[in-house]
Amino acid sequence: MVRRIFPWLLLPMGITSLYLAFVVAPPEATMADRQRIMYFHVASAWNAYLSFLVVFVASIAYLRTGARRWDRTAFCSAELGVFFTSIALVSGMVWGRSVWGKWWVWEPRLTTTLLLWFIYVGYLLLRATGEGDERRARMAAGLGVIGFVDVPIVHMSVKWWNSYHPYVIGLTKVDMVPMMVVALVAAVLTFTVFYVYMLDLRLHMEHLRERTQILKENLLQGGMR
Amino acid sequence: MAPLPLSTLKWLFFGYAVIWAGIVLFLMNMGRRQERLERQLDDLERSLKR
Amino acid sequence: MLAKSMAIVWKDVVVEFRAKEILAAVLIFAALVALIFGFAFDPVEHDLTGIFPGLMWVAYFFAGTLGLNRSFITEKQNDALQGLVLAPGDRSAIFLGKFLANWLFMTLVELILTPVFFALLNVSFKGGLLLAAVLALATVGFTAAGTFLSGLAANTRASEVLLPILLFPLLVPVVIGAVRATAGAMAGDAATAVAWLRALAAYDAVFVVVPFLVFEYLLEG
């Protein structure tokens, strides 16, 4: 269902939010057009957090039920999460460079996002090198739970650590006029639908891969007999 | 920094819109290929059961 | 359940006492790091007091990871872990036992090496009781998270490379807390030290309780 309808939704939604972000929304008072990167940067970051929340929920569900479906969901969502985190990081760095003049600032949100990237790349590595299908799924679920629980603690501690620095760069407040809010909401909505669509595609692909694997094993066993 | 003229922004919008359409079409095509693969798998599984 | 944990702690202590392989390696590695830091940062030319907390904790965390790596690997040989799982009592007791044993080893290493660090890096010893509290609490967080992730990584082909990659991002709050609290303790700034000690305690609580709850499901079958 999602696979049939969502692309037709995504096409107009994406074009509308691009139009809102680039043409309708006015340039920001101090940052001018540089601020426009925010719409899709925030949307990517939102998707990243959403993906990791899904990993967390699916991991708990897997540990409780042991259904392969949940393990697959956690895995695919983690992949997408790393993808969107990368986009958020790169666009964040471009933003930092153009607004603060630095490619990297040790700002809590940026730093937490970078750590998220590391945690879930580690998660994918754990999955890539894990032994035994079921055991690997359980270990990954363990990391999926603890990794997400750690996020607010990391954020708080980085924030606190940062508050000791006299040169803290005040988060340049963006004066959002109503049209900017509309553009931002549109971008976030589009990206959310995009995430659901990509997750569905990726899950289906993973499902097919597993079926092919089983088929292959059956064929090999038949050949050996 | 002075705001960009509207025509530049329109061109930017147009460029990104084309990229976006490309991405969505690419994914749609991928979905279609997946469905073909699924049908093939169905056939194979059925023929193996026999 | 506590009996099972204590039995595991006792077993690990006895094994370590007989073989002395992990503790000795961790100790020597951490001391070597102190030596390398000495050459790299030159305590003769510079006063290292400002960066001393960071140097010390980096050495402990890196050296400790070596020891944590072995924690579950040794249990995988001869399927000993299977035996622990099948033994009566909760499986979470395995986590608790392993964590307590690791905490004991790591605290011992730190007790021996902290004076050595101060001496080698030419920093005058300060902090006293507060510093002891920082060592104890930060080590709880480090070994709790480390024990859990070591259990996860033990099931992979590349566990020894994987553990630090999994552990260090999760450890960031402990790194920040330990370094700041140590700096506070050394500067005689009790308020700062206590504030960060509280943060460490919160981290410790989360990273003891959550793995404890999850471990029950991890080691099934």
Helix axes C159-186, C190-218, angle to 10 degrees: 160
Q: What per-residue confidence (pLDDT) applies to C220?
A: 67
Tokens for C14, please give them: 């006895």
CB C147 within 8 A of CB C95: yes
**DSSP conformational letter for C55:** H
Ordered by start, the domain boundaries in chain A are 9-22+37-166+181-224
Contact A205 B38 (CB under 8 A): no
Q: What per-residue confidence (pLDDT) applies to C2?
A: 77
Q: Between residues A199 and B1, which one has the greater pLDDT?
A: A199
Condensed to tens digits (0 to 9), the pLDDT of residues A92-131 reads: 888 888 887 888 888 788 888 999 999 999 999 999 988 8
To the nearest whole number, what is the mean pLDDT of chain A? 87
Interchain touch A–C (≥3 Cβ pairs closer than 8 Å): yes
A10 at B interface, C-beta within 8 A = yes
> On the CB side of A201, how many CA atoms lie within 13 Å of its CA?
23
Q: What per-residue confidence (pLDDT) applies to A165?
A: 54
Contact A63 C217 (CB under 8 A): yes
Contacts across the A-C interface (CB distance below 8 Å): 99
Closest chain C residue by Cα to residue A125: C162
Condensed to tens digits (0 to 9), the pLDDT of residues B14-29 reads: 999 999 999 999 999 9
Contact B13 A22 (CB under 8 A): yes
Distance in Å, alpha carbon of C170 to nearest chain A alpha carbon: 6
* DSSP secondary structure of A57-115: HHHHHHHHH--HHHHHHHHHHHHHHHHHHHHHHHHHHHHHHHHTS-S----HHHHHHHH
Residue A185 has pLDDT above 70, yes or no: yes
Mention every residue, 6+ apart, whose C-beta is less than 8 A from residue C196.
Answer: C134, C177, C180, C181, C184
Least confident of A43-57, A81-95, C89-103: C89-103
- The total number of residues shown for chain C amounts to 221
Distance in Å, alpha carbon of A157 to nearest chain B alpha carbon: 36
Interface test with chain A among B11, B16, B26, by most A beta carbons within 10 Å = B16
- Comparing C-alpha atoms, which of A108, A51, A41, A100 is closest to residue A80? A51
Angstrom distance (rounded) from CA C141 to CA C146: 8
At A130 the three-state DSSP class reads strand
- Comparing C-alpha atoms, which of C140, C141, C107, C122 is closest to residue C51? C122
Closest partner residue to A11 among B21, B35, B37, by Cβ?
A: B21
Query: ∠ at Cα A46 (A43, A50), nearest 5°?
Result: 140
Condensed to tens digits (0 to 9), the pLDDT of residues C141-186 reads: 999 999 999 989 888 888 889 999 999 999 999 999 999 999 999 9
Backbone φ, ψ for residue A28 (5° rounding): -70, 155
Buried b (16+ CB within 10 A) or exposed e, C14-43: eebeeeeebbeebbebbbebbeebbeeeeb
Closest chain A residue by Cα to residue B10: A23
Distance in Å, alpha carbon of B45 to nearest chain A alpha carbon: 7
Distance in Å, alpha carbon of A19 to nearest chain B alpha carbon: 6
Angstrom distance (rounded) from CA A9 to CA B27: 13
In tens digits, chain C (221 residues) has pLDDT values of 778 888 888 888 888 777 777 888 899 999 999 999 999 998 888 888 889 999 999 999 999 999 898 888 777 776 777 777 777 777 888 889 899 999 999 999 999 999 999 999 988 887 788 999 999 999 999 999 999 999 898 888 888 899 999 999 999 999 999 999 999 999 888 888 999 999 999 999 999 999 998 888 887 65
Percent of chain A's residues with pLDDT above 90: 50
- Comparing C-alpha atoms, which of A14, A17, A46, A197 is closest to residue B22? A14
Q: What per-residue confidence (pLDDT) applies to A164?
A: 58
195-224 of A, contacting B, C-beta below 8 A: 197-198, 201, 204-205, 208, 211-212, 215, 218-219
Query: ∠ at Cα A76 (A71, A77), nearest 5°?
Result: 100
Interface test with chain C among A150, A158, A163, A164, by most C beta carbons within 10 Å = A150
Condensed to tens digits (0 to 9), the pLDDT of residues A10-41 reads: 999 999 999 888 888 887 767 777 788 888 99
Mean pLDDT confidence for B25-49: 90
Q: What per-residue confidence (pLDDT) applies to A224?
A: 54
Contact C214 A142 (CB under 8 A): yes
Condensed to tens digits (0 to 9), the pLDDT of residues A144-180 reads: 999 999 888 888 888 888 765 544 444 555 667 788 8
